[in-house]
Structure 1
Amino acid sequence: MPAELLIGPLLRRVVGTRATVWVETTAPAVVTVRTADGAAGSAPTFTAYEHHYALVVVDGLVPDSTSPYQVLVDDQVAWPPPDSRFPPSVIRTRAADDRDQPVRLLFGSCRETTQHATTRKLPPDALDAYARRVLADPDPAALPDLLLLLGDQVYADETSPTVKRLLRRRRRRPKGAPGDQVVSFDEYTKLYLESWGDPEIRWLFSTVPSVMIFDDHEIIDDWNTSAAWRAEMREQTWWGERIASGLASYWVYQHLGNLSPDEIAADPVFAKVRTAEDATEVLREFGARVDLEADLAHDTERWRAVQYQWSYALDLGRTRLVMLDSRCSRVLVPGRRAMLPPGEWSWFVDRAHGSYDHLVVGSSLPWLLPPGIHHVEAWNEKLADSARPWVAGLGERLRRALDLEHWGAFRRSFDALGALFARLGSGDPGTPDDRKGAGPAYPPPASISVLSGDVHHSYVARARFADSTVHTPVHQLTCSPIHNQVPAGMRPLMRLGWARGAAGAARALARTAGVRRPLVRWRRLAGPYFGNAVATLTHAGRGAEVSIEGTTSDGHLREVARHRLAGPG
C-alpha cells in the first residue's frame, strides 16, 4: 500500500528563512513540504521499530510572511486532507531584523489525552480550547511565535482505557511489566498517536511552531528522585526496556524537533539514524546508554566526553530561551545533588550571558514553589544526606512518598540559579570560577522569567534579592495542568504553602536540620489557580506581561490572571 501520513505535520522550528516539519508515515517514503510562495524541502523517512519518520527542512521562506503549505508523501498531497474543515496550515516567519518585533510564547504542561479517552472526568482540555478559539478567528498575526510544552506530554504510567486494552492484547511483554503501563517503543508510539491525533490539536501543531521538554511521566512518576530510586528500578526486569524505549521515543517524537536545522545536521544520533537501513538498534543502544551516562553526571570531565545533552537554547528577536533538562541528567550523589551536571551547568551559564532584553528559562519543575513546601523540601534533603543511616532512610522514604524532588530539594542548584539571576540582573558577568572567560558585562535584561509546570496549579511569583544592585525583575511563571487535575484534598495544603505562618513554621523546621536561609525570597503575585490552563508570555520592547487562561465548563477559555512583569503599566 502507498505510504500515508500517520501523525503530523508538526511545525517545529522556524529559524530565519528555514523551518523544520516533523511527520510520521505508515511506510517508507520521501516527504516533501512546499509553501505557496515557493519554499520547499524534502527528506526520506528513517525507520525504527517498524515505524517511519521524517524531519524536513524547508528552505527559501520569505521573511516577515505567512505562507500556506502542503505536505506530500511520495509526490501525493497528504496534507491538508481533501475533506479538511480547517483553515490552511501556515508557516509564519519573522522580519529579517526582528529586534523590534513583539514575542509571544504560549506555554503549559501536563496533558492527558482528550476527555473521551481518559478514565477520570477531567475539566476541558485547555490546549484544545485554545486551538478551537484560534480556529474560530484564524488571524496569523495573532498566533503565538512559539508553543512551549513543559513536560508530561504523554503519560507512560497512567494510560487511557484505549491503551490499557491494547496492552492486555499484547502477548510478548517483559516479565513483571506493569499491566497498565507502556514499556516498549511500539507501545510509546500509541501514546503519541492518541495524544496528537486529536483533530484540533493536530491542526494547531501544524501551524504554531513548538518546542518541548520531558518531565517524569514520559518515563515514570518520580523519575530520578534519588540514587536509591535508580538502584531499585534497575532491579526490575522490565525497567531496562522501559527506560531505553522512553528516551528513544522522546528523542524521535519530541527532542529532534527542538533543534534548529544547523543543530540537526550536527546531531550525532541523527547522523546514525538517517544513514541506517533500520535504526532500531541505533535508538535502542542510544536510549540505554544515555540513561547510564547519568551515573557519570557528577564527574565533569567524563560527562563532557560522553553525555548527550537534552537542554537547548534559542533566540526570538530580543528574547533568549534556555530550556533545561531537570530530569534525565541529575546528579544524585548524596551531598552533591544537582539538577544539572557541572558540564551542562557551565553550558547553561554561557547561554544565560549575552545581549538580549528578556531571558526565559524553561524548567519542567518550578524553581520557586510555595515557600512552605520549599522549606520542607530543603529540610528533607538534609535528612536524606545524614550520616546516620536511620535518619537518611527516613529522609529517603519521605522524599518519595511526598514527591520532594523539586529545585528546593536540590539546594546547590536552587542557590546557584538565584545567584546567576542576581549577577545577570546587576550586569555582573561573573567570576572565572562561575564561567571561564566571563567576557564583558552586559546591561541587565529587562526581565527574567522561569517557566514551569508539573505541580497541577498555576501561579505567578516574584523573587526578591538582598543585593540592591539587582535591577531586573525575576519571576516564576507556573502553568499546569493543560489537561489533568490536582486532587481536591491537596488544594488546601498548596494554598497553605503560601501562608506566612506555614512558611515560617516550615522554615523553622528546616533550620533544625541546619538549612541556611535561602539567598532569595519570593512572594506570590497571582494564583494559585487549580483548573486546566494555558499561559501566554508577551515581550514588547523592554516590557513583559503574562496572562493565564483557564477553561470553563463548556470548553472555552477565560482569563484568570494577568500581570505586568516589566516595563510601564
Structure 2
Amino acid sequence: MAGLTLGPLLRYVDEDTATVWLEADGPCEAEVHCEGTTAGGSARTWQVAGHHYALITVVGLEPGTETPYRITLDGDEVWPLAGSPFPASTIRTLPAPEELSGPAGPFRIAFGSCRWAARPAGARHDPVGPDALDALAQRALDGGDRPDLLLLLGDQVYADETSGPVRARLAERRDLSAPPWDQVADYEEYTELYYESWLDPEVRWLLSTVPSLMLFDDHDIIDDWNTSESWQRDIRATGWWRERILGGLTSYWVHQHLGNLSPAELAENPLFAAVRAASDGAPALREFAERADLDPATARWSFRRDFGRVRVLMVDTRAARVLAENERRMLDDEEMDWLHEQALDGGPGAVDHLVIGSSLPWLLPPAIHGVETWNAALCAGARGRRWIRFSEALRRRADLEHWAAFPRSFRALTELIGQVAGDQEAPATVSVLSGDVHHAYVAEPEFDELKVAGGGARSRVVQLTCSPVHNSIPAVMRGGFRFGWSRLGRGLGRMLARHARAGRPPVDWQRTGGPWFGNQIMTLSLHGRAAAYSLDQARSTAPAPDGTARSELVTVLSRQLSEPPVPDGGQGPVSPAR
C-alpha cells in the first residue's frame, strides 16, 4: 500500500481544469476524486533519485464552482488524512469568460517571500515571531477570506541556513565539518528542506486548497547566487558546488517549477515526458540542470498566467543573468524579449491589470539604488582599476545585486512598464510584486511624460514589496532602510551616481507606504478595473487548549489603487466562486 509523503499541492487552476502535485512513498497510481461530480484525474508516479512524484491533471470541473476533492493511491484514500481537524481541500475554478460581468467579488492575490520553516540552528537574528503563512492558513480555517492565488516570490527553502533537526539528518549522511558543512549538499538533502517546510499542518492544508505560483531566489540555492562573474568563477572552483547547483535546480524543477506550468505546457514539455518515461528521471534532470547553469539561454524559468483580464508574469531574476562585467544584465536578451512579448501580447486594452512578479524589487530606497548603481559602474571600471577590487568586495558583502545593480536591465524594465502604462488603452494598474529585502513598502514611479495625448489617464504603476513571511532583520538594517528613503539618503544616492558618472535613473519614484517590519503577507485585490492592496502582519495569540502556538493576521494598511467599477456594464471581476 502506497502512502502520501508530501502534498497535495494545488497548483494550476482555470475555468475547468486544475493540477495537483504530490509525493508518494512508492510507485503507484495517484487519483484525484472530486466530490459530487464526474470531474477528476489520475497519473502514474514518476521517479527521481528514489522519490516518487505525481502531477495530476484534473478535468471536467465546472466554471465558477468550488469542489471538494480527495486523493487515492492505488485505490486507497490518503487525503484527507485520517482524523484530520481541517475542512476538505477544495478546487475553486475561475468563472467562464462570458460570466465575468457577474456579481462575484474581487480576485485576491496574496504574496510574500523569505520563509524559514524553522529557525536556523545558531541564528543570530532578532526574535523571529509567528509565521505569516501559518497565520494566513489560520485565518482561512477560522472562516475568514482566503486568497484566490498565492504567489511565493523566492526563498521558499533555505539551502544555506538549516535548522537543528535538518542538520541532525544531514549528519547521518556525512561529516558536517567538511564542505558544504551544515548546508545542503545534493538532491536528497534538498528533499529534507521541502519536508520541513510543506509538512507543517496548517501550511500543508493551505497549499492543498489555494493555487500557488512560485519563483526561486538566492537562498533556494545559496546566498547571493549569481551576484557577479567573479563570484560565479570562485564558487565553481570549489569541490562541492557542482552537486549543490545540480541538486538545487533539479529539486526546484520537481517541487516548484513544474507546478507553475499549464496542462497544455506540460503536454508539450519534452523534459517532463522524458522524466515520466524513464525508470529514474534523475539523469535527465541533472543533464538539464547542468546546461541551465552553464548557459541560461537553454532554460526558461519565467512563466505567464492569465486569470480573465488579469495577466501575471513571473520573472526569473536569478538564473537568467548575464554576468560578464561589460555585458552585465539581469535578464539575457531572449528573456527580455520574452517579457516584452508577454506584456504587450494582445495589444492595447487586452488586460485590465498587469502583474509582474520579481523576487527582487525594481524600485529600491533611493540611497540603496544609488549605491548599487555606483557600485556596478565602479566594478566595470568607471573610476579606474584601483576601484574594481574594493567594489567587488563591497558588492558581495553588502548584497548589491538587485535591478539597480544591472543598470541596463533596470532601464529596459522601466521603459517596458512605461510603454504599457502610457498607452491610450492602458491597463488600470501595473503592479510589480517582490520580496527579498525583509521588510515591506510601497513605491510609485513618476511617469508624467507618459501621459497620453489629450490628457487621458495612464495606468497606476506601483511597486509592492512584501518580505519576510517568516524571518527577521537586524536592527541596524532597519535603520538603513529608513535612511534610504530620507531626503539625506536620496541626496547620497544622487551624489554617488555622479561620482560614478552613471547619470540619473530613467524615472523618479516616491515611497507611498512603509517601511513595515515583521512577518507579513500582502494582498492585491482586483475587481474589474478596480484595484486595492492590504498588508497583514502575523501576531501571536493565546495558545490552543492543547498548548499549540497560534497566531493571527492583523491588517495594518488597506488602500485603494484604482477606483471601483461603475455600474455601466463594464468589464467585471475574474473571481472564482465563493
Question: Which category of TM-score, normalised to the shorter sequence, fits these structures?
Answer: over 0.9
1:38 Cα offset (Å): 1.8
Offset of residue 118 of structure 1: 8.7
1:166-224 Cα deviation digits (max 9, x unpaired): 12221378x94222100110000000000000000000000000010000000000000
CA contact (8 A) 2:12 2:211 kept: yes
Aligned with residue 530 of structure 1, among 513, 517, 537? 517
**Is the 2:170–2:184 Cα contact (8 Å) retained in structure 1?**
yes
Asked if 1:424 is matched to 2:423, the reply is no
Matched, 1:232 2:234: yes
User: Which moves more between the two structures, 94-103 or 237-246?
Assistant: 94-103
Query: Deviations for 1:521-551, whole angstroms, at most 9, x for unmatched residues?
Result: 1111111011000011001111111101011
Match of 1:283 in 2: 285
Q: Separation in 2 of the partners of 1:409 and 1:179?
A: 30
Partner of 1:264: 266
Q: Is the 8 A contact 1:370 1:494 kept in 2?
A: yes
Give the aligned partner of residue 514 of structure 1: 501
Q: How much has 1:346 moved relative to structure 2?
A: 0.6
**Contact 2:39–2:59 (8 Å) recurs in 1:** yes
Aligned to 1:539: 526
Give the deviation of 1:389 after TM superposition: 2.9
Q: What displacement does 1:241 show? A: 0.3
**Match for residue 140 of structure 2 among 131, 134, 142:** 134
Whichever residue aligns with residue 273 of structure 1, its letter is V
2:157 to 126, 150, 154: 154
Deviation at 1:135, TM superposition (A): 0.5
Map of 1:567 onto structure 2 = 563
Match of 1:109 among 99, 106, 113: 113
- Please tell me whether residue 358 in structure 1 is matched to residue 353 in structure 2: yes
Preserved contact between residue 120 and residue 164 of structure 2 (Cα < 8 Å): no
**1:487 corresponds to which of 461, 470, 474:** 474
Per-residue CA deviations over 1:306-359 (Å, capped at 9, x if unaligned) read x11000001112110000000011011113211111011111101001300000
User: What's the counterpart of residue 465 of structure 1?
Assistant: 447
Q: Distance in 2 between matches of 1:278 and 1:568?
A: 52
Secondary structure of 2:327 counterpart = coil
Moved more, 320-329 or 551-560: 551-560
User: How many angstroms does 1:116 deviate by?
Assistant: 10
C-alpha separation between the residues in 2 aligned to 1:235 and 1:83? 51
Letter in 2 for 1:52: H
Distance 1:125 1:117 in 2: 17
Unaligned runs of 5+ in 1: 295-302, 428-441
* Match of residue 331 from structure 2: 340
Specify the SS of the correspondent of 1:509.
Answer: helix
Is the CA contact (8 Å cut-off) linking 1:167 and 1:179 kept in structure 2? no
SS in 2 for 1:461: strand
1:433-472 paired onto structure 2 within 5 Å: 443-469=425-451, 471-472=458-459
Q: Partners of 1:226 and 1:566 in 2: how far apart? A: 39
Cα pair 2:435 2:468 within 8 Å, conserved: yes
CA distance in 1, matches of 2:564, 2:70: 43
**Residue 82 of structure 1: CA displacement?**
2.1
Q: Which residue of 1 aligns with 2:575?
A: none
In 2, the alpha carbon distance for the partners of 1:59 and 1:115 equals 40
Q: Partner of 1:178: helix, strand, or coil?
A: coil
Q: Which of these residues, 80, 100, 122, is aligned with residue 128 of structure 2? A: 122
C-alpha contact (below 8 Å) 1:103/1:319 kept by paired residues: no
Whole-angstrom CA distance in 2 between matches of 1:518 and 1:116: 38
Residues 126-165 of structure 1 deviation map (CA, whole Å, 9 limit, x = unaligned): 0101101110116xxx332210000000000000001111
| Superposed displacement of residue 503, structure 1 | 0.9
Hey, what does 2:174 align to over in structure 1? 171
Calculate the aligned-residue CA RMSD, in Å: 1.7
3-state SS of the aligned residue for 1:20?
Answer: strand
Conserved 8 A contact 1:125-1:551: yes
SS in 2 for 1:283: helix
Aligned-partner Cα distance in 2 for 1:480–1:415 = 24
- Structure 2 contact 360–436 (Cα < 8 Å) conserved: yes
User: Helix, strand or coil for the counterpart of 1:497?
Assistant: helix
One-letter identity of the residue aligned with 2:325 = P
For residues 223 and 246 of structure 1, the distance between their equivalents in structure 2, rounded to whole angstroms, comes to 11
Q: Secondary structure at the match of 1:186?
A: helix
2:446 alignment partner AA: R
Give me the whole-angstrom Cα distance separating, in 2, the residues matched to 1:487 and 1:551.
18
Compute the displacement of 1:3 (Å). Answer: 1.2
In the TM superposition, residue 556 of structure 1 has moved relative to its aligned partner by: 1.5
Question: C-alpha distance in 2, partners of 1:186/1:91?
Answer: 31
CA distance in 2, matches of 1:116, 1:410: 31
Q: Following the alignment from structure 1 to structure 2, what is the Cα–Cα distance between the partners of residues 542 and 137? A: 27
Q: Does 1:398 align with 2:394?
A: yes
Higher mean C-alpha deviation, range 285-294 or range 98-107: 98-107
CA distance in 1, matches of 2:491, 2:564: 34
C-alpha distance in 1, partners of 2:472/2:259?
28
CA–CA distance in structure 1, aligned partners of residues 528 and 8 of structure 2:
33
**Cα offset, 1:35, TM superposition:** 0.2
Pick aligned residue for 2:372 from 377, 393, 403: 377
- Cα contact 1:114–1:125 (8 A) shared by 2: no
Which range moves more in the overlay, 464-473 or 87-96?
464-473
Q: Which amino acid aligns with 1:96?
A: A
Q: Which structure 2 segments of 5+ residues have no match? A: 453-457, 542-550, 566-578
Aligned residues: 539
Secondary structure of 2:518's match? coil
Q: Note the alpha carbon deviations across 1:35-86, whole angstroms, 9 max, x for none.
A: 0122111101110111110000000001111110011011100000121110
Give yes or no for contact 1:114–1:198 (8 Å, CA) kept in 2: no
* More displaced 10-residue stretch of structure 1: 285-294 or 396-405: 285-294
Structure 2 counterpart of 1:84, one-letter code: S
Residue 13 of structure 2 corresponds to residue 8 of structure 1 = no
Is 2:462 the counterpart of 1:475?
yes
Structure 1 Cα separation of the partners of residues 499 and 300 of structure 2: 38
Conserved in 1, the CA contact under 8 Å of 2:529 and 2:564? no
1:556 partner SS: strand
Structure 2 residue aligned with 1:431 = none
| Aligned residues of 1:150 and 1:362 also touching (Cα < 8 A) | yes
Aligned with 2:409: secondary structure? helix
Q: What is the rounded CA distance, in whole Å, between the counterparts of 2:194 and 2:137 in structure 1?
A: 18
Quick one: distance in 1 between partners of 2:303 and 2:71? 27
Offset of residue 519 of structure 1: 1.2
Alignment correspondent of 1:67: 67
Instruction: Go from structure 1 to structure 2 and tell me whether the alpha carbon gap of 1:241 and 1:116 turns closer, same or farther (over 3 Å shift).
Output: closer
Q: Check conservation: 1:99, 1:318, Cα contact below 8 A.
A: no
Partners in 1 of 2:79 and 2:501 — Cα distance? 60
1:390: Cα distance to partner? Answer: 2.5
Instruction: Tell me, yes or no, if structure 1 residue 556 matches structure 2 residue 530.
Output: no
Amino acid paired to 1:503: R
